[in-house]
Structure 1
Amino acid sequence: MSEISALPRIRELDAYVPGLSIAEIQQKYGLSQVIKMASNENPLGASPLAQEAARRHAPSLFRYPQGGNPRLVRALADLHAVDSRRVAVGNGSDEIIDLLIRMLAEPGKHSLACFEPCFSIYPIQGRIAGVKVRRCPLEKDFSFDFDALLRLVDQSTRLVFVTTPDNPSGYCPPRGAVADLAGRLADIAPDCLLVVDEAYMDFAEDEAGASLLASGALPDNAVFLRTFSKSWGLAGLRLGYGVLPPALAEYFWRARLPFSVNILAEEAGLAALADTAFRRATLDAVRRGRATLRDGLTALGCTVWPSAANFLLFRLPPDAGSAKGCFEALLRRGIIIRPLNSYNLPEHLRVSVGDAGENAAFLAAMREILAAPEARRA
């Protein structure tokens, strides 16, 4: 019997690489406790109100959710002071990214542009859709060269992706620069959509000053993405949303799979939005923890890049051995951070902000590893 083969563009694809799980590290190293600081999850867990909502609505699991998730849409429209006709919700913001590409770009005809490195879902979903992916290298300090990005745009380009704050560096460009990019893009390619992924924006010290979405001045050619996976603490329920131009949002609802946002995700999302105390505590914990990790790593001689997100990009001191050796030494101590080989940054590491105890344990382990002779030979 002949083997059924996928399309060539699928066979050539590199899959998304997730962070290691607690369970696999416990099993591999025989550890009873593991600290995970690899996937930019909420250091305080999930909102108590969201957890209670999920328990309360569990008996309704046999029911389909309400089509279009209108209560959640209205709540998000209120949160961002936008017309509810602009709001789209999905099974994580990944679903919205995938649908935007498939809605706007024809296979073999159109292109998208993004930076390199960037969140890998943009190029992965572009290639799955048969769309040419054009990449613009980041500057050496991980900032954005918008002039260079725009040089990749022509009449075939239907989407340009920008993440702010960026992943994996945490770099956050000035709000005015993003607005200027939208204006210039409209002049160069009127049919091209700017997708501004603000998944980490609420961790910025001044969200209102950094976010174009928060400013209320929304360009007609721009989409803004947010997620419940980070500050809202609902990564396991897969819930994201976007603020789109109204006409594009209407097409989104036509194209989205029915009921892709399940009952528990919707109810937990609504409860999380209402739990303002938990969210304030989360933002405070992340901002304080980010400063603690930055100062601690810097004191150890590491190079640490400025971050407006809930993670830090860093590089070891010159004589401290390899990033891979440090990563594995942390694993043996029951601490998971993120190696960045999949971002083509093999000598860099990324650590998510944990709670106070996790941050202290990570820094203590780093001090031990960097002081050990074997670390320098790794």
Structure 2
Amino acid sequence: MKERVRKQILDFKPYTPGLTLEDIREEYGVERVIKLASNENPLGVSPVVQKVLGQKAAEVFRYPQNHSPRLAAALAERLGVEPDMVVVGNGSDEIIDMLYRVVAEPGRDNVVCYEHSFSMYRMCAKLCGVEYREIPREHGLGLPMEHLARAADEHTALVFLTSPDNPTGLAATADEIAKLSRALPEGALLVVDGAYAEFAEPQDIYEAAPRLAELDNLVLLRTFSKAYGLAGMRLGYGIMPAWLASYLRRARIPFTVNLPAEAAGLAALEDEVFLSETLRVVCEGRDYLGRELAALGCEVTPSQANFLMFRPPSDATVFFEGMLRRGIIVRHLKSFGLPDHIRVNMGTESENRAFVSACRELL
């Protein structure tokens, strides 16, 4: 029966999630664990969202409204686009998967991305039988904007750009995104994964949504997991040309976004106070950690996200394991192909100070 399994699955390597609090408590015997590895919201969940989720608990026996039209309309109003340009998904990962299934022809088309990037792009390509072209980054791990355009050809279905980038935190401006979009061959879609878009400053320089009206091959991906603190709800969305959004809605399985998730998304958009406080805490924490890490001899990459990537002056594996023994989870970027680098997301003020204290001990 194993012969019935598609050849792409036989040697498929699944996504490897980060370590959990339970993993570290059990392995290292520490009571207090600080998780700074998964780029989650340092403030947790909005109190407004928590209240709404409690109110919706009694309604979960009902099916949700397919395609989440209320949330799509609210997002469209927020971003200044038409509602039929917004596709809400079970995390932005679902939108990535759907784009492959809708526009990439197996055995003919290719997708283009760059090294040391989010593994989901490569995984979806393999699952769908589509060629995955990975190009080198610029010197210093910069975003290879011009090289992305040159790597695309008449069979390129999707070109992926993550901005702000994971794991570096570097970001492309809206002007740079528009230039890349116009440089691509006809028929190629530029997909800008903006999971960390809310953290880029100033927004008027980095926000590409206003360019959607002039660029007919641009797709923007966003998530509620980071700035809105809803990682566990699995809620994301894509903003794209209306014709493409129509095909995605047509081809998807029904009810992928559950009723509590949609309610949480609507509530999160209304809680401006929580979002503003999140951005303040992240911005201040980013500045503080950047200064402290640099003072300890680390090579810190400037970031527009809610995390920092750095290269410690000593062995990164030893640093990573030393942090775990102290009950602090950071991300060793070995899985990104960067074994000499560490990624740490901003926590609360006390968590950030505990991290810096542990760094001083280790370095």
TM-score above 0.5 = yes
Return the alpha-carbon distance in structure 2 between the equivalents of residues 148 and 35 of structure 1: 39
Residue in structure 2 matched with residue 228 of structure 1 by the alignment: 224
Matched, 1:342 2:314: no
Conserved 8 A contact 1:86-1:243: yes
Structure 1 residues without counterparts, runs of 5 or longer: 371-378
Aligned to 1:306: 302
Alignment map for 1:234-313 (pairs within 5 Å): 234-313=230-309
Change (3 A) 1:249 1:7: same
* Aligned-pair CA distance for 1:215: 5.4
* Deviation readout 1:314-362 (Å, 9 max, x if unpaired): 0011xx2x10111011001000000111111001010011110110000
C-alpha separation between the residues in 1 aligned to 2:318 and 2:6?
38
- Secondary structure of 1:241's aligned partner: strand
Q: Does 1:358 align with 2:358?
A: no
Counterpart Cα distance in 2 of 1:168 and 1:145: 15
Q: Deviations over 1:189-241 (max 9, x none)?
A: 21111101111111012122112115565511010111000000000000000
Partner of 1:107: 106
State the Cα distance separating 1:12 from its structure 2 match. Answer: 2.3
Partner SS for 1:176: helix
Q: Residue 5 of structure 1: CA displacement?
A: 5.5
Match of 1:326 in 2: 319
Distance apart, 1:106 and its partner CA: 1.3
Report % sequence identity.
48
CA distance in 2, matches of 1:145, 1:71: 37
What is the TM-score normalised by the length of structure 2?
0.98
Which whole-Å CA distance do the structure 1 matches of 2:212 and 2:100 have between them? 25
CA contact (8 A) 1:205 1:287 kept: no
Instruction: Please tell me whether residue 153 in structure 1 is matched to residue 149 in structure 2.
Output: no
Distance in structure 1 (CA, Å) of the matches to 2:212 and 2:256: 28
Q: 1:346 is aligned with what amino acid?
A: P
Instruction: State the distance in 1 between where 2:131 and 2:211 align.
Output: 32
2:5 counterpart letter in structure 1:
A
What 5-or-longer segments of structure 2 have no aligned partner?
none
Partner of residue 373, structure 1: none
Contact 1:25 1:334 in 2 (8 A): yes
Instruction: Indicate yes or no: 2:197 matched with 1:204.
Output: no
Q: Is the 8 A contact 2:114 2:144 kept in 1?
A: no
Residues 112 and 134 in structure 2, CA contact (< 8 A), matched pair in contact too: yes
Paired with 1:67 and 1:148, the residues of 2 have a C-alpha distance of 40
Q: Which amino acid aligns with 1:241?
A: Y
- 1:360 and 1:237 map into 2 onto residues whose CA distance is 29
Counterpart of 1:153, as a letter, is: A
CA distance in 1 between partners of 2:206 and 2:76 (Å): 20
| Number of residue equivalences | 363
Query: Are 1:193 and 2:186 an aligned pair?
Result: no
Counterpart-to-counterpart distance in 1, 2:110 and 2:297? 42
* Whole-angstrom CA distance in 2 between matches of 1:216 and 1:153: 21
Aligned to 1:65: 64
- Measure the CA separation in 2 of the matches of 1:367 and 1:137: 34
3-state SS in 2 of match to 1:159: strand
Q: Does residue 78 in structure 1 map to residue 77 in structure 2?
A: yes
Q: CA deviation at 1:147?
A: 2.1
C-alpha distance in structure 2 between counterparts of 1:147 and 1:225, whole Å: 21
Cα deviation for residue 8 of structure 1 reads 2.0
How has the CA–CA distance of structure 1 residues 5 and 347 changed in structure 2, closer, same or farther, with 3 Å as cutoff? Answer: farther
Q: What corresponds to 2:38 in structure 1?
A: 39
SS of the counterpart of 1:151? helix
Q: What is the DSSP-based 3-state SS (H/G/I as helix, E as strand, rest coil) of the residue aligned with 1:194?
A: strand
Task: Give the conservation status (yes or no) of the 8 Å contact 2:39–2:307.
Answer: yes
What is the CA distance between 1:313 and its match in structure 2?
0.5
Match of 1:165 in 2: 164
Verify the 8 A CA contact 2:212 2:240 in the aligned structure 1: no
Amino acid at match of 1:174: T
